[in-house]
Chain A
Amino acid sequence: MALIELNGVTKYYEMGDQVVKALDGIDIDVEKNDYLAFIGSSGSGKSTMLNILGCLDKPSSGQYHLNGKNVESLDANELSEIRNLEIGFIFQSFNLLPRATALGNVMQPLVYRGIGHRKRKEMAMESLERVGLGDRVDHLPNQLSGGQRQRVAIARALVTHPSILLADEPTGNLDSQTTIEIMQLFDELHAEGHTLIVVTHEDEIAQHCHRVVEMKDGRVFNDSTTSSAAVTS
């Protein structure tokens, strides 16, 4: 049994009398400890895909099994729990809490786990240091650069040690040096046994991954296991 199983998943948006098929019949399995990249042109449905995988959105039709459980049968609170315990989500638009500091943002997911303040702070600091932001913890999101915000978002996703990490363009705002650092971090996480799913435009990053799925108009256009899969970095 694969960690993630999608069968005939669609996502339609009705705009007036026009139907936008953001996802149009997706069948895909993702194994545990996979290192997968979604690529494809803008509007091909990558973010929609990730939202469904992250249990934020539900398919219009089709089935999504996560860990053998049919996501459709879960209620709002159970989905919240899965998002909190299993999934780390790095959003394309960061989605940081504007009134909380970098530290506060990273601590927040732990609040919903019932972890005490001291322990939370400890874990958040560790996570922030891991993305190289140990010196900016008291800044509000609007006092941070785009790249720094992105790293806060990454730290927040990592702080819970999720088994699945979903990243939507995680290096979109980073310089090449930081990009390399982040990709090294992802490699480490993969080596630790996490499952990584990354949406990206950049070929270098895609090549880093062990499996590349190309999307086009809401369909899987190409699904290939790359050569680098054999050579773990």
Chain B
Amino acid sequence: MLFSLIESSRSALASIIAHGLRSFLTTLGIVIGVASVIAVISVTQGMSSFIGDTFASLGSNSLTIQSYTPFEDQMKGIRARLTPEDMELIERRAEGIASITPVLFANRASQIKFGSQTAFSRIMGTTYAFQDVSQSYMSLGRFIAQSDNLTRRRVVIIGDKVRENLNMPDNPVNEYVDIGGEWFKIVGLMEAKGEIMGQSQDDIVLMPYNTMRSLQGNQARTDIQIQLSLSESAVLENVTAQLTTLLRNAHDLDSDEDDDFQIQTAEQLMETFDTVINMVTIVIGGIVSISLLVGGIGIMNIMLVSVTERTREIGICKAIGAKRHHILMQFLIEALLLSLLGGLIGLAIGYGLGTLISSSIPSFPPASIPLWSVALALGFSGFVGVLFGILPAAKAANLDPIDALRYE
């Protein structure tokens, strides 16, 4: 049995090579199917393992509350806001909160200068509690202290990306930077966190919350973000429900009005990413099964043609002693080899494509093909080959020797 397998593979390979172009065109459906699945898997896998890593470091028991204005209201010029009073209210009334901090973003992407270097960065005003909420660690210097906030001290903490962009020395602590025409002293450098979806987590400048407010002229109409972390025993759902009730009351919302704020957890964010990735995978999976189906039909078609073409040959083989399984095996293996070949070519193209995609988008995670996807792709194309090869092979094996010999 093994022996006739080797013999059949030998002649199947010979016949595939003899019809080189035709064989290639036949496998094109499989090639495209496998290439697209591998390309997508390599990109999404690289992405999701990366996202998983980043979110794990983000602290999964933290919440972000921000104002939310529906699009129709935005068009009418209405803007929902989250105020410092809202935060005070939560601080006073909500239970199960370990740390809470306001985050006030600079009105626009602000320029930072160091010597002759200029860079743009995300500038946020926040309090000492931010360190706990966001799980940030300092690599040099200190974080924002409570006294910094009370005295509106002109100090900043910078991310490593900012240091890099400004060509600062490895230790930037005690250097001064110019933000919006004011001088700030750098008191700390944060530990690098990496990127999420191509956005650096280290391109960030933190200053005391009150310093930021005074910088913005202490406007009454500030819109802040509130970040908080839950205490060990707190249940996420309960806290969220409590916060919702508090804020709805504070904002005088009727029961038929929608929330004018959003409460997000890091986990939710991660779930959203996962959902998107799963959706993409399912859609691509559908496309791939169709193209594999088409590829399979292509193989069946060419195998049927091949059986007809070689009817006389089959007759000759039977006349000199080929049994049913010899002929069956030969055509089945030919179909299998064709589709496996297509699978292999597809694998190579898909990997190339995936690498190309992830490397052409800056700061995109590198493509990775897990072994299971290679096995899946080859297994699937092999399955398609056998499935669609059976009919032509059986047709060949069942030919009557004398009829086949007489076939012109």
Please report A residues at the B interface, Cβ cutoff 8 Å.
51, 54, 56-57, 76-77, 80-81, 83-85, 89, 91, 95-99, 108-109, 111-114, 116, 156, 160
Contacts and interface: CB of A to CB of B under 8 A. Distances in A.
A90 B312 CA distance: 16
A56 B323 contact: no
B361 interface: no
A80 B313 contact: no
Interface in B1-60: 3-4, 7, 14-15, 18
Nearest to A113: B321
Nearest to A84: B321
B79 interface: no
Contacts of A56: 319, 401-402, 405
A156 B315 CA distance: 15
Contacts of A84: 320-321
Given A97-B316, A98-B313, A114-B3, A80 B405 contact: no
Give 9 closest A-B pairs by Cβ, nearest first: A84-B321, A112-B321, A109-B320, A57-B402, A80-B323, A77-B323, A95-B316, A56-B402, A83-B321
Interface of B: 3-4, 7, 14-15, 18, 312-313, 315-324, 326, 401-402, 405
Given A56-B401, A95-B405, A99-B15, A112 B316 contact: no
10 contacts: A56-B405, A76-B323, A84-B321, A95-B312, A95-B315, A95-B316, A97-B313, A99-B313, A156-B320, A160-B321
B395 to A, nearest CB: 14
A85 B324 CA distance: 16
Contacts of A116: 3
A24 B322 CA distance: 30
B396 to A, nearest CB: 13
B316 A96 contact: yes
A113 B315 CA distance: 17
A206 to B, nearest CB: 25
A160 B321 CA distance: 11
Contacts of B4: 111, 114
Contacts, number: 62
Contacts of A85: 321
A102 to B, nearest CB: 14
Max count, chain B CB within 10 A of own CB: residue among A84, A112, A116: A112
B405 A108 contact: no
Contacts of B18: 99
Nearest to B315: A95
A31 B42 CA distance: 72
A112 B320 contact: yes
B398 to A, nearest CB: 8
A156 B402 CA distance: 18
Given A56-B405, A95-B405, A114-B3, A83 B323 contact: no
Nearest to A115: B3
A65 to B, nearest CB: 20
Nearest to B322: A112
B317 to A, nearest CB: 7
Given A54-B319, A81-B323, A85-B321, 8 more contacts: A56-B405, A80-B323, A84-B320, A99-B15, A108-B320, A109-B321, A112-B317, A160-B321
Contacts of A108: 317, 320
Contacts of A83: 318-321
A81 B401 contact: no
Which residue of B15, B321, B401 has the most chain A CB atoms within 10 A of its CB atom? B321
Contacts of B318: 80, 83
B321 A81 contact: yes
A80 B318 CA distance: 6
Contact of A112 (B15, B312, B326): B326
Nearest to B320: A109
Contacts of B313: 97-99
